[in-house]
Structures are given as C-alpha cells and as structure tokens.
Structure 1
Amino acid sequence: MADFIQALDPSKLVLVGSAMSFVTSVFVAPVYNLPIFLFGMLAQESPDALQSLKAFTFMLGGSIFFDVIWLSNNSQNWFIKTITILILILKLPTVLAFATALRQRGASFSGLGVRGNDLSGATVWSMPGGFTSFGGGGRDGYQNVEDPAEGPKPLSVPPQPAQPVPAPAAPGAYQTV
C-alpha cells in the first residue's frame, strides 16, 4: 500500500481533481471543491511551501467529511452526483499522496505544528505599518509590537523663554484693540 501511495503523482491527482471540480461548478455541486483543488495546484508547485501543503492536505481531508454530508443532504442530477462521488473517491489517495510528500520533505503533522504552549515560530504575515506577528524586525522606521519602547528623545530646538503675561485691565476701563 505504501509503495502504491508513493508511486502516485500528487500534481496529476490535484490536476484531475481541479478539472472534475470545474465541470461540476456550473451545476448544483459542492462549491468548495474547486477552490481547494486550485489552492492545491498552487501549493504543490512551490518546493519550499510546507505550510501551504499542510493547509491544503488538512483542507482536502476535511472536505471529505463535508462531501459525505453534502451528498446526504442534496439530491441532484445523477451525472453530477456521480462526478461528485468520483471526486470524493479521488480525494482519499490525493490526501495520502500529499501527506507522503510532506513527510519526504521533512514536515510533521504532530500537534498541527504547535509545540505545547509555544506559538512562536517563523513570521508568516505582517501587519501594515511594520507591526509583525512574531519575531522579525520592524520596517520603514516602525517599531515591532514586542520590542521595548525607547526612552524620550531630546529636543532638537532649545525651548524659548516664556513671554511675559500682560497685566489685566482695570474693571470698567476701555481697551483698544
């Protein structure tokens, strides 16, 4: 069984799944299949995108459960139902082939990549303005969220002496402006 899984080409499996999902997208069919398979096509092209391959593998595995629910709740044309069942059957070896490919690239599925309470890791995204999620340096002169605040900066212009305050006018007197 393991030799059979290793002999499968993940790129061809995801291409066939994309084509079959594209055919059913015109009809009443699960709307999530085509985006998931298209994401898989993009994820499998990059050799160093382990996080994307993990996400695709988990989404495709989860969509198997949703396909079973969708097939039990919807009645549609026999042709579309047959293609949807074929897509469901195709998802099983595709998930196994991608899981094998991930293991060969050194990825692990234990704990979904989270080690205990340690959520730190490589920065996957950064917020606008240079605030990053975890680690990394600020950009464009902005300070990272976890960096300590700097002390007060000295003024570049010396302060001007205070201007004398004029004495208030006597009550009832006229003032000229």
Structure 2
Amino acid sequence: MDYVQGLDPSKLTLGLTALSFIISPFAAPVYNLPILLFGTLAQSQENSDGQALQTFTGLLGVSVIFDIVWMLNNEQNGFIKFLSLLLVLLKVPTFVTFGLALRQRGGQFSGLGVRGNDLGGATVWDSMPGGFGSGGNNGYQNVDEERPAQYSRPAPPPTMPVAQPAAAQAPGAAAPGAYQNA
C-alpha cells in the first residue's frame, strides 16, 4: 500500500489518457478516452469540493469491469490487445491512488455508504421516516405512541368566511371579455 501512496495521480492519469488515445483508433472501448480526459480535469481541480474526483474514481473502477467484459467479447490485434491489457492493469493502482486521495480530502463514496473503514456507521435507514435505523426514531412516532408535549400545539380557532360583494351588472349586459352573438 505504501507503494501506491507514493504514486503521482496526475502522472498516472496523464499516462492512461495517452495510452487510451493511442489505442482509440483501433478496436478498443470507446468510453476510456472520455473518462480519462474527465479524470485529468477532475484531478486538476484541487480546490473543489471533491465531487468531480469522487465521480472519476467511481467511473474508473466501473470501467475496469467493463473493459474486462469488452475484451472477452471482442477480438483485437495482438499489440493492441497488449496495450488494452496494460491500460486495464494500470487502472487498478490509479483507482486505489485516487481513492486514497479522496479519503485524504475527507471525501467518501456516499452512494455506497462506505466511509473508509466505517462500515457500521450511519446508513440511509437512519434518515428514513419511521426510524428504521439504529439512530432512534429521529422525531417520528409510532401509531400507538403518545406525543410529547413539546411537539403538541393547540388547534387554531375556526375562522368565519368573509362575504365578497357581488358586482352589480345590468340585466342583458355581457360580462367584459365574454363572447357575444350578434
């Protein structure tokens, strides 16, 4: 793991982008070059909130699986197949490097609920109505539960409807804007 932490994410991304550019005119997955170009942009935005870095890291990890499936279903030239395999193999340390960089910035994969080593922390169920999570019911109550006094409030007094004055119209006069037959 120490070796991966010493890798430079910008050089890895630039190398993968160049390799993807080289194999793009041949029989190769078409999604690699756009993902890696996005990665060069995401890596250069160090002052951002990390959303672009998080998106790129997720796309890079999923593209490894897609690359393997693509290589099993499609034929390639020997040298291009070697370069494609090299691209897939280099994506793995790049994914780990960007994952560590994301973790150092305090980011997480919120869609997966994974925060580093914290797999037992708060989950999506904690914010669900009805208090399904372990964090209590978060202000929700069961049907048979009494409501605390702090949440009770008196019902507002009923209001009387106010009568609207009717506009005086002459008999036979049409309302303004109405369709008239002549």
Question: Which 4+ runs in 1 deviate beyond 2 A?
Answer: 108-115, 159-163
Give the unaligned 5+ runs of structure 1.
120-158, 168-176
Hey, what does 2:169 align to over in structure 1?
163
CA distance in 1, matches of 2:93, 2:57: 11
Please list, as runs of the form range in 1=range in 2, the aligned pairs for 1:87-126 lying within 5 A after superposition. 87-109=87-109, 112=112, 115-117=123-125, 118=127
Hey, what does 1:19 align to over in structure 2?
18
Shift of 1:24: 1.2
Shift of 1:105: 0.5
What is the identity, as a one-letter code, of the residue corresponding to 2:25? V
Residues 43 and 49 in structure 1, CA contact (< 8 A), matched pair in contact too: no
What is the percent sequence identity of the aligned residues? 52
Aligned residues: 128
Hey, what does 1:85 align to over in structure 2?
85
Hey, what does 1:10 align to over in structure 2?
9
Shift of 1:61: 0.8
CA distance in 2, matches of 1:163, 1:110: 65
Please list, as runs of the form range in 1=range in 2, the aligned pairs for 1:19-168 lying within 5 A after superposition. 19-47=18-46, 48-109=48-109, 112=112, 115-117=123-125, 118=127, 161-166=167-172
Give the unaligned 5+ runs of structure 2.
115-122, 129-164, 174-181
Shift of 1:67: 1.1
What is the identity, as a one-letter code, of the residue corresponding to 1:3? D
TM-score of the aligned structures, taking structure 2 as reference length: 0.63
Shift of 1:50: 1.4
Shift of 1:43: 0.9
TM-score of the aligned structures, taking structure 1 as reference length: 0.65
Cα distance change of structure 1 residues 113 and 50 upon mapping to structure 2, 3 Å threshold = farther
RMSD over aligned Cα atoms: 2.4
Shift of 1:51: 1.7
